[in-house]
Amino acid sequence: MSGNNIKVVCRFRPQNSLENREGGVPIISIDDEGTNVQLKGEATSNFAFDKVFGMNTPQKDVFEYSIKSIVDDVTAGYNGTVFAYGQTGSGKTFTMMGADIDDENTKGIIPRIIEQIFTSINDAPSNIEFTVKVSYMEIYMEKVRDLFNPSSDNLAIHEDKTRGVYVKDLYEIYVANTDEVYQAMKNGSSNRVVAYTNMNAESSRSHSIVVITITQKNLDTGAAKSGKLYLVDLAGSEKVGKTGASGQTLEEAKKINKSLTALGMVINSLTDGKSSHIPYRDSKLTRILQESLGGNSRTTLIINCSPSSYNEAETISTLRFGMRAKSIKNKAKVNADLSPAELKALLKKVKSETITFQAYIAALEGEVTVWRGGNTLPEDKWVSMDKINKGDYSALPPASNFRAASVAEDASRPTTPSVSKLEAQYATKKEMQQKEIEDLQQEISEKNENLHKLTGSLSALKDANEQLQNALSEQPVQAQNGDLSEREKELERMRKSMAKELADFETMKKVLMRDLQTRCEKVVELEMSLDETREQYNNVLRASNNKAQQKKMAFLERNLEQLTNVQKQLVEQNSSLKKEVALAERKLIARNERIQSLETLLQDAQEKLINQNQKFEAQLQAVRERLEQARSQKSQTSMALNFGRVAKPLRGGGAVVENGENSPTSPTEKRDKRNSWIPGFMGSR
């Protein structure tokens, strides 16, 4: 099949209460054809997609246009992928799952897909036998986790020529109707990781992937086809400032944004026309979706956006992502195993083509012989493939006529089994299929033995759970009291250290003040001595002008200059000491404030400890209740998982199958069976 582009559709949800509180207003405009959207925010931008759905588009319209054809292709043997992309709180899970599974107006894509699959099976001819398998996984903190078997929390991704990219040891459950699919997915969704953020009360912290495998076999001819449908609900891209993520939630947001960035890099590499390497292996998400992006799959991408000016930057980023993805080309093909009749027909076709080419070669060799002999041939006698196909050997030259007829006669004779390689390959393949059936039966018997062993070890697991419960009830309180004791000791050490530093500071301050006072007194004395010296100098000048007096005056002038320099130094030192005293006083005030703050923190810590002890008691009680619930659920899950390993063949047209039946269920019966359904099982965003 020639390459086809990924179908990209855009859906806008209504403006929510957060956007209204922040003063956001709708800034989108969709054209009449519903294929272009214009954003009129800080800058005007235009984007084109296969379809753009407005804020009030019914769920049915999104499914009919975007998804229905892919489901038809999967039941016909193609691989298909549907995934939703967008920021946290953009409506991805509402699109994928909907608000109410029994409400025709609000149920989402996944319930409609499941209903269409079993409707298609019931509408198929009665000679077609189907099996449907479901697996459910999530990618959390860059680890692949099996939601049907949560103990498998770090599964490996492998690839081979037959299966393509697949997750090793991923648990698969056989289902026979819509209710079994819903129940299986409900059990798996209870193990998903969600958390509260400012953008959404239950924001998914992981990417979830549901894989539905549909295998059909024609009981008359033995031909088989197999199609896989990937339903991907991506975790929302986040701006930490808006979501308010912190701690573990912040670390999860980093991993989510990293994997979505890797998805963007893969799409860039697929569409830029320059990259020789596609970085599928940069994240677990892109590795699993390798066939969905540029591979063997019919893919639809639903980008979910906010129409509000409050989320303008995130909406533009999402729309650009969709525009790039729209340029990706996939090459989808039917995953089919040929029936014996089809293999024989293919063998017959190959034989016929072989005979034709051998006759053509023989005719050309005959014509070459004529030309080499120095003879010429008219143009109407030249050898051509059309003449060979028509069997018109009389229109060829005599030598070519003879050779081509001989080859055709020899080739038309029956071939012995030793010569027919294709027949031998068919027989070998049939033997291998029979051996695979026997191996599968042996595996089923081994699984039954393992079930008995697991039942025998249940009592040991109960004892281990009781020990864990006792350990859980003792450790947390001791750990918290220990933390409070350490904090009090640390605070006491800090108090003693501050008291010692304060005493040292007071001693130093007194010494400095005494030194300062002494220096000030010396300055005063020097000033008085200077005045006296000047007076004496003036008296001497007036009394005598002889040389001895002049020498004495010169000596006194030098002393006067030195005393002046000393005075300047003392003034500078006095100023520096004043600055140091002011700085020391500020430090003392800061230390006093720090001590008061620590005393307040200690009081708050004591109050918090009391509150935490109360909360811990409540949490401990909740853990005990959950342990009891887990014991009962584990027993039920173990039985359900082993039951889901048994294949449940379904016949087209609702025909009865041995060991089971395949009949449609009325809407009333479906609602009665799904009375325990919890809407939004994939985690709302």
Which residues fall in the annotated binding site for ATP?
86-93
Rounded CA-CA distance 273/501 in Å is 70
Alpha helices, DSSP H, located in 391-457: 398-412, 421-456
* Interacting residues of 473 by C-beta distance below 8 A, sequence separation 6+: 620, 624
The runs of H, that is alpha helices, within 124-201 are 178-189
- Per the CB < 8 A criterion, the answer to whether 217 and 169 are in contact is no
**What are the tokens at 146?**
């099996």
Q: Measuring CA to CA, which residue among 54, 241, 263, 28 is closest to residue 139? A: 263
Buried b (16+ CB within 10 A) or exposed e, 97-129: bbeebeeeeebbbbbbbbbbbbebbbebeeebb
Alpha carbon of 429 to those of 225, 338, 435: distances in Å? Answer: 16, 11, 10
Question: 207: which strand partners?
Answer: 139
Q: Which residues pair with 392 in a beta bridge?
A: none
Selection from 8, 6, 51, 61 nearest residue 30 by Cα: 51
Pairing label, strands 650-651, 128-140: antiparallel
Token digits for 123?
Answer: 């509408």
Strand partners, 308: 26
244-267: buried (b, 16+ CB within 10 Å) or exposed (e) per residue?
ebeeebeebbebbbebbebbbbbb
Residue 295 and residue 270 in contact, taking contact as beta carbons nearer than 8 Å? no
| Kind plus residue range of the DSSP H or E element containing 232 | strand 224-233
CB atoms within 10 A of CB 130: 23
What does the alpha-carbon distance between residue 106 and residue 383 come to, in Å, rounded to a whole number? 69
Distance of CA 32 to the CA centre of its chain: 35
Helices (H), 326-420: 340-372, 385-390, 398-412
Q: What share of the chain is helix, strand, coil (3-state, %, to 5)?
A: 60, 15, 25
Give binding residues as ranges. 86-93
Closest by CA position to 57, among listed 81, 30, 21, 39: 30
Q: How far apart are the first and last CA of the chain?
A: 37
